[in-house]
Structure 1
Amino acid sequence: MKISVLGCGRWGTFIAWYANKIGHKVMLWGRENSKNYIRLDETRKNDYLTLSEDIELSNSIHKAVSFAEFIIISISAQELRSFGSQLSLINEIQGKTFILCMKGIEASSGKRLSQVFGETVGYDTNVAVWVGPGHVQDFVNNTPNCMVVDSEEVKITKKIVQEFSSDLIRFYYGQDMIGNEIGAAAKNVMGTAAGMLDGLNYGSLKGSLMARGTRELSRLVTAMGGNDVTIYGLSHLGDYEATLFSLHSHNRKFGQSYVSGEKFEKLAEGVSTVKALKELSEQYDVELPICKAMYDILFNDQDAKDTLENLFLRPVKFEFQ
């Protein structure tokens, strides 16, 4: 099958590498002036892997969309609306299946990425999400993991799983777009909080973070019309090891750098997701204490140590109140 991957950052380039590895014909698109694209075009390499010569590189979005039946999008979540508007101008999008391999929520509106895509490209296109744990550094060393594919159409979900399953990635069928999208995005916020705990030498509190984080987000998903059990699956709790503990996690590294007063130059989607969760908390009248604490630290200049101690160490209450 022909696969196009739009976005040549760490994850998009890996998806192209992976799709080629399991036998698909692949085109990888990147912006002509992006550092990632220029480096791949010149060397076929990035910091994590080397692309096969079988993978075609292109900076033409029209060519990439026309090339394939399945089109995977892997860009910054906050850029999806403008990118979707660009895609909507391409006639060839009709009948294609788009797979969003991103974890985020639109910060300004609190909308899920499938909603943003539908509003910009059209709800008559097939759209799915591909979420769950896994780092490029592990996959390229043949360390397997499990992930989730979800869409509103079961036949689309099953087709994607059929085409992309391998010994390296085992896929499960998702059954709750709301829960999987919110869960996948929100785990990055928990990863940022975990990094702050690491930086403050409070790493032992990650157990409390995990227990309370899943609980508050399950309440939000229920209020939004999703299934609260989804939060305890691969898109959220199942991704905690890769996000709250792994040395490869950008969100954990960002949180640790933040409380240590160090700069972190790479993308940490959890920062924008904090804004989105604040919006959703207000929209659905659901208290999200951890997300609120993270918002206060990142955007209201509250002291991280005091705020996190207040959150985890000072309250005396029934555990499941």
Structure 2
Amino acid sequence: MKISVLGNGRWGSFLAWYSSKIGHEVLIWGRGNSRNFHDLIKTRKNQYLTLQPEIKFTTSLNEAISHSDIVIISINSQYLRSLLKKVSKTNFYDKIFTLNMKGLEIDTGKRLTQIAKEELGVNLKVAAWVGPGHVQDFINGVPNCMVVSSDSPAITDFVISAFSSKLIRFYSNPDLIGTEIGAALKNVFGIAAGMLDGLNLTSLKGPLIARGPFEASRLIKYLGGNELSAYGLAHLGDYEATIFSKHSHNRTFGESFVTNKQFDYLAEGLSTLQSLNNMYIPEIELPIIESLNDIIIHKVDPLNTLNDLFMRPLKNEFY
């Protein structure tokens, strides 16, 4: 099968490596003015992995789309709409797209598959592929489980069949809203975990793990999804990779933020938090999100705010 990967960062380069490893013909697309992409072409490696010699590269979006049976997109979520406007000028109509990224559009609060269908048409064959796992573990043969969701069971099954291996076991979830919202919020709660680490409140990660999915389930249900998806692979299943791991950009960003250290990598939870800040959601209680919003956007004291979060008035755990 022919696979094109749009994006060549940490995750995009892994997806190209993985697709080639399981037998697909792979082409990676990157911007012509990207220094990182040209370095990848020259050396065939980055700080995480070395790409197989059979993987090819292109700066032509037309070539990348026409080459593919499946188009994998793995870029900063805030650049998705602008990229898809360019894809709309190619012959994309019979292709299947998988969005291997997590987040919400800052200005609109829209999910990534919503953006894809707005730009490429409501009949677009598109799936969200998310869940736990770090590049550093996968390339060393450490397996994990991930989840695929779409509006079409046939598309979900096709993607799972194309990419299943002993390294990644896939599950399907028909709740596309829950999968995308859960995956996006997981990164937000990862920032909170990093803040707890930086403030020497690591023991509070237990309550964060317990209460985070409750909060995610409320938002998923409010937006029309299945609240149980908060307890699946896209959200709770991905907590270990985000809340505890040294590899997590979101956790590291949160720790760096409260310790006043510079952090130069992408933390998708930050843009998701900004998106949630722009959404008007008065009907549901989102205390963790509101606390992070106060700390990051309104610059209130993180130690007092997080202490107040976990010292709120007493209530029943489940009701």
TM-score, length-scaled by structure 1 = 0.97
Match of 1:267 in 2: 266
1:93 match: secondary structure:
coil
Match of 1:304 in 2: 302
2:53 match: secondary structure:
coil
Structure 1 range deviating more: 117-126 or 165-174: 117-126
Amino acid at match of 1:222: K
Query: Counterparts in 2 of 1:1-321, with a 5 A limit?
Result: 1-90=1-90, 92-280=91-279, 282-283=280-281, 285-321=283-319
C-alpha separation in 2, matches of 1:283 and 1:88: 32
C-alpha separation in 2, matches of 1:95 and 1:56: 22
Contact kept, 8 Å, 1:223 with 1:284, in 2: the verdict is no
C-alpha separation in 1, matches of 2:220 and 2:254: 25
C-alpha separation in 1, matches of 2:177 and 2:89: 27
Contact kept, 8 Å, 1:188 with 1:251, in 2: the verdict is yes
Give per-residue Cα distances to partners, 1:270-297, cap 9 Å, x unaligned: 00101222344x2473221101111111
C-alpha separation in 2, matches of 1:127 and 1:320: 36
| TM-align CA RMSD | 1.1
Aligned residues: 319
2:197 match: secondary structure:
helix
Contact kept, 8 Å, 1:6 with 1:71, in 2: the verdict is yes
C-alpha separation in 1, matches of 2:112 and 2:56: 27
1:314 CA displacement = 4.7
1:11 CA displacement = 0.2
C-alpha separation in 1, matches of 2:83 and 2:225: 27
Give per-residue Cα distances to partners, 1:49-88, cap 9 Å, x unaligned: 0011100011111110110110000000011111111111
C-alpha separation in 1, matches of 2:223 and 2:278: 13
Alpha-carbon distance change, 310 to 106 in structure 1, aligned in 2, over 3 angstroms: same
TM-score, length-scaled by structure 2 = 0.98
Amino acid at match of 2:173: G
Contact kept, 8 Å, 1:4 with 1:65, in 2: the verdict is yes
1:167 CA displacement = 0.3
C-alpha separation in 1, matches of 2:36 and 2:22: 23
C-alpha separation in 2, matches of 1:276 and 1:194: 20
1:263 CA displacement = 0.4
Contact kept, 8 Å, 1:224 with 1:284, in 2: the verdict is no
C-alpha separation in 2, matches of 1:34 and 1:188: 26
1:89 CA displacement = 1.4
Give per-residue Cα distances to partners, 1:221-262, cap 9 Å, x unaligned: 111111010100000000000000011000000000000100
1:129 match: secondary structure:
strand
Amino acid at match of 1:77: S
C-alpha separation in 2, matches of 1:37 and 1:112: 27
Contact kept, 8 Å, 1:27 with 1:64, in 2: the verdict is yes
C-alpha separation in 2, matches of 1:125 and 1:34: 28
C-alpha separation in 1, matches of 2:283 and 2:200: 33
Unaligned 5+ runs, structure 2: none
C-alpha separation in 2, matches of 1:50 and 1:146: 23
2:114 match: secondary structure:
helix
2:47 match: secondary structure:
coil
